Amino acid sequence: MITQLRLEQIKEFEDKIGYTFNDKSLIDVAFTHSSYTNEAKTNVKSNERLEFLGDSVLDLVVSEVLFKNFNNKPEGWLTKTRSRLVCTDSFAKASEKYDLTSYLNFGKGEKQHGGGLKKHVKADTFEAVCAAIYLDAGFGYLYEFLVKNYTDAAKKIIEDDSMFNDYKTRLQEYHNAHDKKILKYTLINQEGPEHDKIFTMQVKAGDKILATGVGKNKKKAEQDAAKNAYERIKND
Protein backbone atom coordinates (compact mmCIF):
# COMPACT_ATOMS: atom_id res chain seq x y z
CA MET A 1 0.00 0.00 0.00
CA ILE A 2 1.49 3.34 -1.07
CA THR A 3 1.15 6.03 1.59
CA GLN A 4 -0.42 9.40 0.89
CA LEU A 5 2.93 11.11 1.45
CA ARG A 6 4.53 8.82 -1.09
CA LEU A 7 1.75 9.49 -3.59
CA GLU A 8 2.37 13.21 -3.17
CA GLN A 9 6.08 12.68 -3.90
CA ILE A 10 5.19 10.65 -6.99
CA LYS A 11 2.79 13.37 -8.14
CA GLU A 12 5.55 15.96 -7.79
CA PHE A 13 7.81 13.85 -9.97
CA GLU A 14 5.05 13.23 -12.54
CA ASP A 15 4.49 16.96 -12.81
CA LYS A 16 8.23 17.43 -13.40
CA ILE A 17 8.40 15.03 -16.32
CA GLY A 18 4.89 15.63 -17.68
CA TYR A 19 3.74 12.03 -17.41
CA THR A 20 1.20 10.39 -15.08
CA PHE A 21 1.80 6.74 -14.25
CA ASN A 22 -1.12 4.37 -14.62
CA ASP A 23 0.56 1.93 -12.24
CA LYS A 24 1.99 3.99 -9.37
CA SER A 25 3.68 0.93 -7.90
CA LEU A 26 6.15 0.88 -10.80
CA ILE A 27 7.57 4.30 -10.07
CA ASP A 28 7.35 3.64 -6.32
CA VAL A 29 9.60 0.60 -6.77
CA ALA A 30 11.90 2.55 -9.13
CA PHE A 31 12.43 4.99 -6.26
CA THR A 32 13.19 2.30 -3.66
CA HIS A 33 16.85 1.61 -2.92
CA SER A 34 17.95 -1.87 -1.83
CA SER A 35 19.17 -0.46 1.51
CA TYR A 36 15.56 0.45 2.32
CA THR A 37 14.26 -3.03 1.53
CA ASN A 38 17.02 -4.60 3.62
CA GLU A 39 15.85 -2.62 6.66
CA ALA A 40 12.10 -2.89 6.00
CA LYS A 41 10.14 -5.41 8.01
CA THR A 42 7.59 -5.93 5.23
CA ASN A 43 8.16 -7.53 1.82
CA VAL A 44 9.11 -4.34 -0.07
CA LYS A 45 10.70 -4.57 -3.53
CA SER A 46 13.84 -2.66 -4.45
CA ASN A 47 14.58 -1.12 -7.85
CA GLU A 48 17.35 -3.61 -8.75
CA ARG A 49 15.23 -5.64 -11.19
CA LEU A 50 14.06 -2.44 -12.87
CA GLU A 51 17.71 -1.33 -13.18
CA PHE A 52 18.43 -4.57 -15.03
CA LEU A 53 15.59 -3.98 -17.48
CA GLY A 54 16.33 -0.27 -17.85
CA ASP A 55 19.94 -0.94 -18.82
CA SER A 56 18.82 -3.15 -21.72
CA VAL A 57 16.04 -0.83 -22.88
CA LEU A 58 18.33 2.20 -22.81
CA ASP A 59 20.91 0.26 -24.80
CA LEU A 60 18.26 -0.37 -27.46
CA VAL A 61 17.04 3.24 -27.50
CA VAL A 62 20.55 4.63 -27.91
CA SER A 63 21.38 2.03 -30.57
CA GLU A 64 18.29 2.97 -32.60
CA VAL A 65 18.91 6.71 -32.27
CA LEU A 66 22.52 6.35 -33.42
CA PHE A 67 21.56 3.99 -36.26
CA LYS A 68 18.90 6.40 -37.56
CA ASN A 69 20.84 9.63 -37.18
CA PHE A 70 24.37 8.61 -38.15
CA ASN A 71 23.84 6.48 -41.26
CA ASN A 72 27.29 7.33 -42.62
CA LYS A 73 29.17 6.07 -39.57
CA PRO A 74 30.74 2.57 -39.43
CA GLU A 75 29.85 -0.09 -36.89
CA GLY A 76 32.99 0.58 -34.85
CA TRP A 77 32.10 4.24 -34.36
CA LEU A 78 28.51 3.35 -33.45
CA THR A 79 29.70 0.83 -30.86
CA LYS A 80 32.17 3.24 -29.24
CA THR A 81 29.64 6.06 -29.18
CA ARG A 82 26.97 3.86 -27.66
CA SER A 83 29.34 2.70 -24.93
CA ARG A 84 30.03 6.33 -24.06
CA LEU A 85 26.32 7.16 -23.87
CA VAL A 86 25.24 3.97 -22.11
CA CYS A 87 27.47 4.21 -19.06
CA THR A 88 27.47 5.24 -15.41
CA ASP A 89 28.81 8.75 -16.06
CA SER A 90 26.20 9.74 -18.63
CA PHE A 91 23.32 8.06 -16.76
CA ALA A 92 24.32 9.79 -13.53
CA LYS A 93 24.29 13.12 -15.35
CA ALA A 94 20.90 12.29 -16.86
CA SER A 95 19.58 11.49 -13.38
CA GLU A 96 20.55 14.97 -12.17
CA LYS A 97 18.24 16.66 -14.70
CA TYR A 98 15.21 15.69 -12.60
CA ASP A 99 17.06 15.16 -9.31
CA LEU A 100 15.90 11.54 -9.29
CA THR A 101 17.73 10.42 -6.16
CA SER A 102 15.85 13.01 -4.10
CA TYR A 103 12.82 10.70 -4.45
CA LEU A 104 14.62 7.55 -3.35
CA ASN A 105 13.63 5.66 -0.25
CA PHE A 106 16.96 4.84 1.44
CA GLY A 107 17.85 2.80 4.46
CA LYS A 108 19.05 4.93 7.37
CA GLY A 109 22.69 3.93 7.00
CA GLU A 110 22.86 4.61 3.26
CA LYS A 111 21.07 7.92 3.68
CA GLN A 112 23.53 9.03 6.37
CA HIS A 113 26.43 8.17 4.08
CA GLY A 114 25.08 10.34 1.26
CA GLY A 115 23.73 7.57 -0.94
CA GLY A 116 21.90 10.05 -3.13
CA LEU A 117 25.15 11.74 -4.11
CA LYS A 118 26.88 8.57 -5.30
CA LYS A 119 27.37 8.40 -9.05
CA HIS A 120 26.38 4.74 -9.38
CA VAL A 121 23.22 5.30 -7.33
CA LYS A 122 22.21 8.17 -9.61
CA ALA A 123 22.85 6.03 -12.68
CA ASP A 124 20.97 3.02 -11.27
CA THR A 125 18.00 5.22 -10.42
CA PHE A 126 17.89 6.62 -13.95
CA GLU A 127 17.84 3.09 -15.36
CA ALA A 128 15.07 2.05 -12.99
CA VAL A 129 12.91 5.09 -13.77
CA CYS A 130 13.32 4.52 -17.51
CA ALA A 131 12.27 0.90 -17.04
CA ALA A 132 9.19 2.04 -15.10
CA ILE A 133 8.23 4.43 -17.89
CA TYR A 134 8.82 1.68 -20.46
CA LEU A 135 6.59 -0.79 -18.63
CA ASP A 136 3.86 1.76 -17.97
CA ALA A 137 3.81 3.69 -21.27
CA GLY A 138 5.64 1.48 -23.76
CA PHE A 139 8.83 1.69 -25.78
CA GLY A 140 7.59 4.44 -28.11
CA TYR A 141 6.81 6.85 -25.30
CA LEU A 142 10.13 6.23 -23.53
CA TYR A 143 11.97 6.70 -26.82
CA GLU A 144 10.33 10.08 -27.44
CA PHE A 145 10.79 11.12 -23.79
CA LEU A 146 14.53 10.45 -23.96
CA VAL A 147 14.98 12.09 -27.35
CA LYS A 148 13.09 15.18 -26.19
CA ASN A 149 14.92 15.56 -22.89
CA TYR A 150 18.45 14.31 -23.54
CA THR A 151 19.35 14.93 -27.19
CA ASP A 152 21.39 18.08 -26.44
CA ALA A 153 23.35 16.35 -23.66
CA ALA A 154 24.00 13.36 -25.91
CA LYS A 155 25.25 15.61 -28.73
CA LYS A 156 27.78 17.21 -26.40
CA ILE A 157 29.13 13.79 -25.48
CA ILE A 158 29.25 12.68 -29.12
CA GLU A 159 31.00 15.87 -30.26
CA ASP A 160 33.70 15.59 -27.58
CA ASP A 161 36.53 14.03 -29.60
CA SER A 162 38.50 13.23 -26.46
CA MET A 163 36.15 10.33 -25.77
CA PHE A 164 37.35 8.56 -28.89
CA ASN A 165 40.98 9.62 -28.64
CA ASP A 166 42.30 8.46 -25.31
CA TYR A 167 45.71 10.01 -25.72
CA LYS A 168 46.71 9.21 -22.14
CA THR A 169 46.43 5.50 -22.95
CA ARG A 170 48.21 5.90 -26.29
CA LEU A 171 51.05 7.85 -24.71
CA GLN A 172 51.48 5.36 -21.87
CA GLU A 173 51.46 2.43 -24.30
CA TYR A 174 54.20 4.13 -26.31
CA HIS A 175 56.38 4.56 -23.20
CA ASN A 176 55.61 1.03 -22.05
CA ALA A 177 57.08 -0.19 -25.32
CA HIS A 178 60.12 2.12 -25.33
CA ASP A 179 61.41 3.13 -21.92
CA LYS A 180 59.02 1.49 -19.41
CA LYS A 181 58.50 4.80 -17.63
CA ILE A 182 55.27 5.55 -15.76
CA LEU A 183 53.97 8.96 -16.76
CA LYS A 184 53.04 11.55 -14.17
CA TYR A 185 50.48 14.33 -14.61
CA THR A 186 50.79 17.44 -12.46
CA LEU A 187 48.55 20.48 -12.10
CA ILE A 188 50.71 23.54 -12.72
CA ASN A 189 48.08 26.28 -13.00
CA GLN A 190 44.39 27.08 -12.69
CA GLU A 191 42.75 30.40 -13.37
CA GLY A 192 39.35 31.98 -13.82
CA PRO A 193 36.17 32.13 -11.69
CA GLU A 194 34.82 29.00 -9.97
CA HIS A 195 32.17 28.39 -12.64
CA ASP A 196 34.59 28.83 -15.55
CA LYS A 197 38.08 27.70 -14.53
CA ILE A 198 40.84 26.78 -16.94
CA PHE A 199 43.30 24.10 -15.79
CA THR A 200 46.86 23.56 -17.04
CA MET A 201 48.40 20.12 -16.60
CA GLN A 202 51.94 18.94 -17.25
CA VAL A 203 52.92 15.39 -18.23
CA LYS A 204 56.40 14.05 -17.37
CA ALA A 205 58.32 10.86 -18.03
CA GLY A 206 60.69 10.65 -15.10
CA ASP A 207 62.27 14.11 -14.86
CA LYS A 208 61.60 14.99 -18.50
CA ILE A 209 58.71 17.33 -19.25
CA LEU A 210 56.90 15.99 -22.32
CA ALA A 211 54.17 18.61 -22.79
CA THR A 212 51.49 20.74 -21.16
CA GLY A 213 47.78 20.94 -21.88
CA VAL A 214 44.76 23.01 -20.92
CA GLY A 215 41.12 22.21 -20.35
CA LYS A 216 37.89 23.07 -18.54
CA ASN A 217 38.69 20.37 -15.97
CA LYS A 218 41.76 18.40 -14.93
CA LYS A 219 40.80 15.32 -16.92
CA LYS A 220 40.48 17.27 -20.17
CA ALA A 221 43.71 19.14 -19.46
CA GLU A 222 45.49 15.80 -18.92
CA GLN A 223 44.13 14.51 -22.24
CA ASP A 224 45.29 17.68 -23.98
CA ALA A 225 48.77 17.35 -22.48
CA ALA A 226 48.93 13.71 -23.53
CA LYS A 227 47.71 14.62 -27.03
CA ASN A 228 50.40 17.28 -27.40
CA ALA A 229 53.09 14.90 -26.16
CA TYR A 230 51.91 12.04 -28.37
CA GLU A 231 51.73 14.19 -31.52
CA ARG A 232 55.22 15.61 -30.81
CA ILE A 233 56.58 12.06 -30.59
CA LYS A 234 54.89 11.07 -33.84
CA ASN A 235 56.25 14.14 -35.63
CA ASP A 236 59.86 13.63 -34.48
Q: Which residues are catalytic?
A: 55, 127
Q: Residue 26's closest CA among 4, 8, 49, 5? A: 49
Instruction: DSSP for 158-198, please give it.
Output: HH-GGGT--HHHHHHHHHHHHT-PPEEEEEEEEES-GGG-E
Task: List beta partners, residue 189.
Answer: 200
From residue 218, alpha-carbon distances to 90, 188, 212 in Å are 18, 11, 12
* φ, ψ at 188 (rounded to 5°): -110, -15
Other Cβ atoms closer than 10 A to 43 = 6
From residue 208, alpha-carbon distances to 109, 164, 205, 232, 234 in Å are 48, 27, 5, 14, 17
183-191/208-215 β-pairing: unpaired
Q: How far apart are CA 71 and CA 55, in angstroms?
A: 24
Q: Would you call 138 helix, strand, or coil by DSSP?
A: coil
